[in-house]
């Protein structure tokens, strides 16, 4: 039976990428060695790293003056690295609190300096994106989270920023056009829309570094990893390789412009069924609905067992909502085919 993987993370990946990765585990580059056996300092893997960086730069149209890193520790480590590298001693930063991961980022930054929360949607269980807030001129940077996987909200526009702009794009990077010029630091855990868990993409403007008087631990200093081309310590070879394959698939598909249209269509038809069907309701404000993570409730609890069974019978996986929201969550990342979305819609129509 074909599986329809709606999991919020680890993400669905293109079959082409999975097949190539499977072969590479057994025999990489026809060299009779596994990808996960070769030296990360060997030319074959250096070529992988170079190609992965090149694809990121090409797909996102990253201008000169930015470094592209593949690090470890997930976005959770970036919650700490960003303030360590950008916040002055006794400095302060502005944050929006739009969900569980934004809240964790705030917690880490509070350990380094003062955090000013300029926009907060916790009053309504994060079902909307705050707007109309003011970013103070005297903060060291502003931090936001572009897409909230748990609550199904997404920033459709980014504010004009009088200071450095930092964004956690873990769950919607490569899904839509962005202007990298507007950001000074972007980070994204691979496992939401780029590749397997184990590596984190960091894109940062070189000129923002080295301006804090703080002594930064070597491993947590972005300059360390820039100087060593993301190889200060042994890099996560397999996640970087699969991310490279995924990015090549995206390029061959037509790039960001093409996938954005596909993602918009997938979200459009699923939200249309949620709004049409009296048995279902969305949990996020309509204007802030995510195109990546679609959260909804089944109004009649007595029909949940039937709905769950129909999903299981159809091979739908990972549809259960996060425990803090309940209900259901359909994560429709780049590699999710529209036919899988239609399977889910058909099941929703069967519930009477």
Entry pTM: 0.97
3-state secondary structure of 59: helix
Give the model confidence (pLDDT) of 61-118 as tens digits.
999 999 999 999 999 999 999 999 999 988 999 999 999 999 999 999 999 999 999 9
- The sign of the CA dihedral 231, 232, 236, 242 is negative
Tokens of 215: 């002594």
How sure is the predictor about 144, in pLDDT bands with cuts at 50, 70 and 90? very high
* Residue that has been written with the tokens 């069974």 in this structure: 309
Mean pLDDT value across the chain: 96
Give the model confidence (pLDDT) of 275-331 as tens digits.
999 999 999 999 999 999 999 999 999 999 999 999 999 999 999 998 888 899 999
3-state secondary structure of 67: strand
Angle formed at CA 292 by CA 96 and CA 95, multiple of 5 degrees: 10
Give the model confidence (pLDDT) of 24-70 as tens digits.
999 999 999 999 999 998 999 999 999 999 999 999 999 999 999 99
Which of 3.40.50.12280, 3.40.50.1000, 3.90.25.10, 3.40.640.10 is the CATH number of 15-252?
Answer: 3.40.640.10
- Whether 15-252 shares its CATH topology with 255-350 is answered no
3-state secondary structure of 142: strand
For the chain, the domains span 15-252, 255-350
Query: Does residue 1 carry a pLDDT above 90?
Result: no
Give the model confidence (pLDDT) of 230-279 as tens digits.
999 999 999 999 999 999 999 999 999 999 999 999 999 999 999 999 99
With beta carbons less than 8 A apart as the criterion, state whether 280 and 299 touch. Answer: yes
237: left (phi over 0), alpha (psi -120 to 50) or beta: alpha
Provide the percentage of residues in the chain whose pLDDT is more than 90. 95
Give the model confidence (pLDDT) of 157-189 as tens digits.
999 999 999 999 999 999 999 999 999 999 999
DSSP E strand boundaries for the chain: 4-5, 66-71, 92-97, 114-120, 141-145, 147-148, 153-154, 164-168, 185-189, 200-205, 280-282, 293-298, 316-317, 328-331
Fold classification of 255-350 is: 3.90.1150
Beta partners for 317?
A: 5
Please give the positions annotated as active site. Answer: 101, 168, 192
Mean pLDDT, range 333-352, rounded to an integer: 96
């Amino acid at each position: 039976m074909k599986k329809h993987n709606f999991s919020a993370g680890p993400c669905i990946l293109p079959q082409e990428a999975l097949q190539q990765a499977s072969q590479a585990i057994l025999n990489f580059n026809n060299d009779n060695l596994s990808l996960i056996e070769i030296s990360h300092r060997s030319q074959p893997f250096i070529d992988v790293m170079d190609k992965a960086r090149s694809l990121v730069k090409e797909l996102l149209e990253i201008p000169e003056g930015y470094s592209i890193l593949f690090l470890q520790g997930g976005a959770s480590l970036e919650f700490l690295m960003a303030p360590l590298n950008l916040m002055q001693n006794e400095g302060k930063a502005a944050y929006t609190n739009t969900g569980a991961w934004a809240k964790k980022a705030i917690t880490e930054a509070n350990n380094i300096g003062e955090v000013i929360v300029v926009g907060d949607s916790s009053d309504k269980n994060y079902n909307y994106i705050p707007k109309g807030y003011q970013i103070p001129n005297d903060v060291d940077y502003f931090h936001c989270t572009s897409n909230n996987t748990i609550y199904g909200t997404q920033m459709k526009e980014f504010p004009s920023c009088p200071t450095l702009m930092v964004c956690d794009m873990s769950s919607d990077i490569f899904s839509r056009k962005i202007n990298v010029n507007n950001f000074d630091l972007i980070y994204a855990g691979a496992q939401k829309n780029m590749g397997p868990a184990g590596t984190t993409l960091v894109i940062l403007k070189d000129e923002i570094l080295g301006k804090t008087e703080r002594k930064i631990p070597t491993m947590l200093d972005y300059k360390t990893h820039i100087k060593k081309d993301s190889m200060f310590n042994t890099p996560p070879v397999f996640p970087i390789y699969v991310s490279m394959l995924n990015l090549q698939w995206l390029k061959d598909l037509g790039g960001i412009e093409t996938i954005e249209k596909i993602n918009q269509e997938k979200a459009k038809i699923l939200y249309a069924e949620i709004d049409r069907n009296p048995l279902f309701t969305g949990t996020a404000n309509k204007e802030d609905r995510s195109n990546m993570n679609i959260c909804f409730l089944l109004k009649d609890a007595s029909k949940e067992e039937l709905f769950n069974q129909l999903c299981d019978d159809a091979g739908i996986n990972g549809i259960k909502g996060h425990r803090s929201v309940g209900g259901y969550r359909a994560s429709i990342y780049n590699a999710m085919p529209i036919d899988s979305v239609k399977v889910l819609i058909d099941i929703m129509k069967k519930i009477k």
